[in-house]
Structure 1
Amino acid sequence: MTVLIPRTLAEYILLGPTGDRRQLQDSPILGDVWIAYASEAGPQELLITPYKTNTAGLVANWIDGEVDHDRLMHNASGREPREIAYLQGVIAARLYFDEVLRVIVPTTSWWSSARIQGDMAVYLQAASGSQRINAVLDTVQEMAAHWSDPKTIKKSAGMLTALDRYAALAGIILWAAQTTTIGPDAKPAELAAAIKAGKGDIARLLTDLFSEILDRQEQNDANRRKQWKDSLVYQVSLNRRADMAVARSVPSVKADAARLLFTVNCAEIAWAVIDSGIQGDHPCFKDATGKESRVVASFDFSNFRKIVNLDNLRIFNENEDPEVQEGKLKQLLPDGHKLPEGQKLKQAGAKLISNLVQLSRDARAQRPIHWELVEPFIEIKIDTRPSVSDHGTHVAGIIGARAPQKRTKAIAEDDRIDGMCPDIRLYDFRVLSRNSDEKDTEFAIIAALQYIRHLNERHDYISIHGANLSLSIKHDVRNYACGRTPICEECEHLVESGVVVVAAAGNYGFQSFTTTDGAFESYAAFSITDPGNADGVITVGSTHRSLPHTYGVSFFSSRGPTGDGRLKPDLVAPGERIHGPFRDGWGDLDGTSMAAPHVSGAAAMLMARYPEFIKQPRKVKKILCETATDLGRERSFQGSGLLDVLRAFQSI
């Protein structure tokens, strides 16, 4: 059983004691990655950012080959598949900690800097290296002892360089994954004592690690360096989990009045709902005839990385067992997709396998993703039941539900309501995991955003005018500049391509705080989540569905400003007890997830009435913000105020 290193101890080693702590650590392994490996043995889902002079395809292929070689050298071929896949500007991989240390870090500019290489020279000399490692571990033992007993916390006597802290924490995490001297629930004093007793093992692990890295560089550096310029990798972060940012609210934003006064018809506007999935055959999504669904297409991206990763070249080769290949193929197919029987199975399976192999070959050749080869694995029937929750169906209903035309006993009066745009067309993008044991990842959302750009580039006209992301990813301030995370950057690319992007502000506006006097609950500023931190995105907070002036901003709605001082949220919309469709029937949900689709609907109405604003997302955002109704609250709480669709139309 492995030892778990608490977050507080990992930060203590990496950043220093509380009273003398640095705010940033220097290594390219971002803080959330250190914490993840320290607190959980085994592989982690990572996002690797290439160095600016290299493509994601080149980096992905190099990592795949090096990890393959590394596992062969360490007799670790039985480890979990690495599932390396790439999109424009980012690589996803499932790697073990020692693989990150041996394969990834030595390719970074940090590692090759004169300062780190100078310190490494000391580590790599037999006599001085042993002395330095022992001195560092002595200091870390002292730090661990101080950490385990807060009453004795003080400045550590030893002075640690950036490489010293990196080496110390790396050695302890490697040791913790192997030791059996104590269990995962050890008390701080027991853990500190175990680290002291394990000093020799930690020193050996570090010596072996640095020696192997040096040997690899000397043997292969010349050949491998021909493949890239400068450094290969910029940094390593976690492939973060996305969460759902979870009444007759349309009159509160005056959308019904705007429809009547301005004769708005959104039938030519299409909106992407990037969420848990839309129940496309729900009666509220029927067109005016009541026969066809307005959900144009459904795509399941929750399995995307398994479809495009480089492992498929190893799995789908002529030497692999056909039954194993068939089983793997079934895992990759979307919900509701069944392979035919007999001879048709061979034909259909052969075609799908051919797609997978070609995708992997394209990745090997560093070519962009051929989306037409991906589509058979992500396109699903619109009536496929979302397996995660009602969330996506509810969000889509706020944007585009249509009240049933006929009154029946089976339909309650409360369920006879229109969404913001009852004639809009919808695209269903499912990015939350189909299986509860799989993580919902940032990589899947980025893939969906890039696919929207691909769909729009197929024609001279725009196919999808806007995207709603009622999703929330916590922003770790030590890892990225605010608004510059991979998902925020991808949202900015989509905005620049002419698509309106609307995001929930998040539901972290009410938090529990701990002080020396105990815990207390209060409102939390600077709590906007990603992708709401992106500058070009319209970020939406929540207010009461019918009494916004009375209650102001919902207690749960994330507050601004952003971490770098920009005004967010941009505006607020109803998000409390919002009535909308579920997979079966109707129901109420709360959250900024429910507020965001009101703004998506408003943006769609503007473009439907005034087509000149199509492909002008920043103008749309400007109009909606400038015409919002001031609720008399703090700007960093309410943004520009309450969405006012009628005033937006009257301003033009």
Structure 2
Amino acid sequence: MPVSLPRWLVDFILLGPANDRRQLQESPVLGDVWTAFATDPAGTQDLLIEPYRTQTAGRVAAALADRFARIDRHGHLAAGRVPGARQPRSARNIAYLQGIVAARLSFEDLLCAVVPMSDWWARRETRDRIAQVSPERIAATVDALIASARDFEAGKPEPATPNITPLERFVALMGVVVWAADAPSRIGQGRGTRTLRKLGDILKVLTGTAVTERLLPILHGMLEAGEAGPMVWQVSLNRQAAPALEKSVPAVKADAARTLFGVRCDAITWAILDSGIDADHPVFNGPDGCRVRKTLDFSRMRQIVSLDNTDEATLEARVDELLQRDLATEMTREEAKADLRELASDARKGRPVQWEIVERLVTLRCGTPPYGGHGTHVAGIIGGRAPEPDSSFADGMCPEINLLDVRVLSRSAADTEFAVIAALQYLRDLNERHSFITVHGANLSLSIPHDVRNFACGRTPVCNECERLIESGVVVVAAAGNRGYHSYETRDGAYEGYAAFSITDPGNADGVITVGATHRYWPHTYGVSFFSSRGPTGDGRMKPDLVAPGERVQGPLPEEGWGQQDGTSMAAPHVSGAAAMLMARYSELIGQPHRIKQVICASATDLGRERSFQGGGMLDVLRAFQSV
């Protein structure tokens, strides 16, 4: 029966006790992956695999698919030793984008297939030292670590750190997670028998001998795999992404700037990476029809670029799913199959993703219902137009702007970092097709929590992709996150409080304009919203960059609805609108995202709060125009 292990035990085994703890570990398996498998050791996890610097993502994806094909065909390595380890080929769903590979893997898949492809494993000293670790040493190491953990759990003073090397800790943690996947179901004898659930009971029955017995087949499988690297640099979780105007537009003086400077944004296009826009809502109408120029759904991108589409049964199922969607381009079943086959085969041919093919498969008919109301509300703040003179809804920041509906949030497990990265890469490709910029900016009112043990702050896959898009000339605006006040789970129970260093990704990216929240019309009185994530970043940079209205902001909702929503998700589109207005008025700023960020932040109004709370202050569009 699988048992769940807490994060503190993972850290204790891998890094050492709190009073003598290393902050980093050498293996390619990052901390969030260890924690996820410890929580569900017999399950699978959706992972992002970063290629080694000399390898393309397509080549790594193809090599990984070939490796699993051999395992599935011959049943060698340690396949089947861990409960739940064997899974059908399509369940792994290996897919790639520029610089990243995604795959859903079991713990055994990770150890026996991915780790041997890593740069870390390719170093001869790593393999030699693991091969030299005897079963007796593994058992003794586990027993020493578990004895220390039992003392810590019982509240005793932390013992001196045993003389255990980082590599031995890696091997021990592997063994403990493998053991947890098939732990004894009960503890005790006779009437005292009880289900094995509590950590104290788990630590009583967890022995070095039991761990070693289950770990040895895995170690042998890893060593038999040899080294196929260096092909893999590191492995992290494919993190979940989540959503993070009546008086808000005048509060930032956007209406005054429009009037005084005669600004019209009808030549500007802004991408809304969110849950989708209800293009049929009257606030998005323009003189030439709907201003939502295109609807693209990247929430199913994984299935489109999956290498599993070379398998005929998987391909048929994917085509069934694809043709059920309201695609803008009509295509036959054979055309859809040909497109999916070509995308899957590109990895083996060393080709980059063909975005023109992807575009056909993700573009939906304009007016396709969105996944909830979040994206419609965000788009209304940027580009809503009051449908009639006596409407209770005021214009958004840029009532003439063109919008690109880019769907990456669907309230499902598909809402992942991989989908967001795909959308960002598509926008970059779209602009590179011409000698001029067609998409001027992108708004990301979404939040992906950053775990400091995994990546340097601002250097996660999604942050790196935002930086590439910015360097191509696109303004990227992101919500700071709504983790400024939340509950923490400690050994002594839940604790609620304010959180410094709580900026989420992609807001941690240096070039992104990261926006916190304040009150919609009394910002000087109420200051920074209690929920707005605080800076600085984990590596000491000032974030957020500024704040904008994010409390009870009025905006459109699907099916011609209206309503108020809160959060830094609502603050970010005010800044997107300000950036669009600057480019509409001063065309020389187009393609200059760093200059636009400097103008907006330098002209913000100081609210008298800490810089780590408010950044430069509250957005002031009129002052930004006057400063240029």
TM score, norm. by length of structure 1: 0.89
- 1:88 Cα deviation (Å)? 1.0
**Residue number in structure 2 paired with 1:112:** 122
Q: Structure 1 pair 63/592, CA: closer, same or farther in 2 (3 Å)?
A: same
User: Is 1:404 aligned with 2:387?
Assistant: yes
Give 1:23's aligned amino acid.
Q
Query: 2:196, 2:202 within 8 Å by CA — same for their partners in 1?
Result: no
Residue 428 of structure 2 corresponds to residue 429 of structure 1: no
Equivalent residue for 1:385? 369
Aligned residue for 1:311, secondary structure, equals helix
The 8 Å contact of residues 309 and 344 in structure 2, kept in 1 or not, is answered as yes
Offset, 1:175: 1.7
In the alignment, which residue of structure 1 is the partner of 2:167? 163
Q: Which amino acid aligns with 1:330?
A: D
Name 2:350's counterpart in structure 1: 366
CA distance in 1, matches of 2:44, 2:90: 8
Do residues 284 (structure 1) and 288 (structure 2) align?
no
Provide the secondary structure at the position in 1 that maps to 2:392. helix
After TM superposition, give the deviation of residue 516 of structure 1 in Å.
9.1
CA contact (8 A) 2:310 2:341 kept: yes
Amino acid at match of 1:49: E
The match for 1:414 is 392
The C-alpha deviation readout for 1:252-295, integer Å capped at 9, x for no partner, is 100000000000010000000000100011100000x3x61000
User: Does residue 39 of structure 1 match 2:61?
Assistant: no
CA contact (8 A) 1:303 1:332 kept: no
**Post-superposition shift, 1:71?**
2.8
Contact 1:148–1:192 (8 Å) recurs in 2: no
Kept in 2: contact 1:335–1:384 (CA 8 A): no
* 1:187 aligned residue: 198
CA distance in 2 between counterparts of 1:278 and 1:467 reads 14
Q: In the TM superposition, what are the counterparts of 1:159-238 in structure 2 within 5 Å?
A: 159-182=163-186, 186-196=197-207, 199-217=208-226, 231-238=230-237
Partner of 2:83: none
Partner of 2:189: none
CA deviation vs aligned residue, 1:45-70 (integer Å, no higher than 9, x gap): 00111111111111111111112222
Is structure 2 residue 544 aligned with structure 1 residue 544? no
SS of the equivalent of 2:91 reads coil
Relative distance call for 1:18 and 1:355 in structure 2 (3 A) is: same
Amino acid at match of 2:336: L
- Alpha-carbon distance between aligned partners in 2 of 1:184 and 1:114, rounded to the nearest angstrom: 44
Write out aligned runs for 1:156-555 (5 A). 156=161, 158-182=162-186, 186-196=197-207, 199-217=208-226, 231-245=230-244, 247-287=246-286, 289=287, 292-315=289-312, 320=313, 326-333=316-323, 335-337=325-327, 348-387=332-371, 389-405=372-388, 407=390, 413-415=391-393, 417-433=394-410, 436=412, 438-512=413-487, 521-555=496-530
State the alpha-carbon separation in 2 of the partners of residues 398 and 46 from structure 1.
34
Deviation at 1:8, TM superposition (A): 1.9
Contact kept, 8 Å, 1:4 with 1:184, in 2: the verdict is no
| Pair 1:202–1:519, CA change in 2 (3 A) | closer
Q: CA deviation at 1:80?
A: 5.7
Q: Please list the CA deviations of residues 332-366 of structure 1 after superposition, one character each: whole Å capped at 9, or x if unmatched.
A: 347434999xxxxxx70011001001111112212
2:496 and 2:592 map into 1 onto residues whose CA distance is: 42
Whole-angstrom CA distance in 2 between matches of 1:214 and 1:109: 15
The code of the aligned residue for 1:271 comes to W
Match of 1:565 in 2: 540
1:410 corresponds in structure 2 to none
| Equivalent pair of 1:275/1:429 in contact (CA under 8 Å) | yes
**Aligned letter for 1:42?**
G
Deviations 1:436-486 (A, max 9, x none): 3x2410000000000001111111221100000000000100100010000
User: Post-superposition shift, 1:113?
Assistant: 3.4
Q: In structure 2, what residue type is equivalent to 1:149? A: A
Q: Contact between 2:431 and 2:439, CA under 8 Å: does it hold in 1?
A: yes
- Across the aligned residues of Structure 1 and Structure 2, the Cα RMSD in angstroms comes to 2.1
Distance in 1 (CA, whole Å) between partners of 2:60 and 2:239 is 20
The alpha carbon displacement at 1:517 in A equals 8.7
**How far did 1:142 drift?**
1.3
Aligned partner letter, 2:380: G
Matched letter for residue 231 of structure 1: P
Change (3 A) 1:79 1:462: closer
Tell me the matched-pair count: 609
Deviation of 1:44 after TM superposition, in Å, equals 0.5
CA distance in 2, matches of 1:78, 1:59: 20
- Indicate the residue corresponding to 1:596 in structure 2: 572
Q: 1 CA distance for matches of 2:323 and 2:202?
A: 46
Shift of 1:212: 2.5
- Please report how far the alpha carbon of residue 213 of structure 1 lies from its aligned counterpart in structure 2 after TM superposition: 2.4
AA aligned opposite 2:137 = R
* Alpha carbons 1:181, 1:194 under 8 Å: kept: no
| 3-state SS of paired residue (1:414) | coil
SS of match in other structure, 1:364: coil
1:520 deviates by 5.2
Distance in structure 1 (CA, Å) of the matches to 2:579 and 2:87: 52
Equivalent position amino acid for 1:386 in 2: P
Match of 1:141 in 2: 146
Distance in 2 separating the partners of 1:515 and 1:495: 39
Instruction: State the one-letter code of the partner of 1:107.
Output: M
TM-score (norm 2): 0.93
Partner amino acid for 2:503?
Answer: I
Q: Which SS does the other structure have where 2:528 is aligned? A: coil
1:553 deviates by: 0.7
- Aligned residue in 1 for 2:110: 100
SS at 2:507's partner residue?
coil
* Alpha carbons of structure 1 residues 25 and 184: separation in structure 2 relative to 1, 3 Å: farther
Contact 1:239/1:441 (CA < 8 Å) preserved in 2? yes
The letter for the 2-side match of 1:145 is: R
Distance in structure 2 (CA, Å) of the matches to 1:122 and 1:18: 29
Identify if the C-alpha distance between structure 1 residues 338 and 257 changes in structure 2 by more than 3 Å, giving closer, same or farther.
Answer: closer
Counterpart of 2:535, as a letter, is: G
| Paired amino acid for 2:410 | S
2: CA distance, partners of 1:141 / 1:565 = 36
The one-letter amino acid of 1:99's match is D
C-alpha separation in 2, matches of 1:427 and 1:303 = 18
Identity %: 54
Greater Cα shift, 201-210 or 499-508: 201-210
1:343 alignment counterpart? none
Could you say what secondary structure the match of 1:355 adopts?
Answer: helix
* Deviation digits for residues 488-538 of structure 1 (CA, Å, limit 9, x no counterpart): 000000000000000000011113457899765432111111000000000
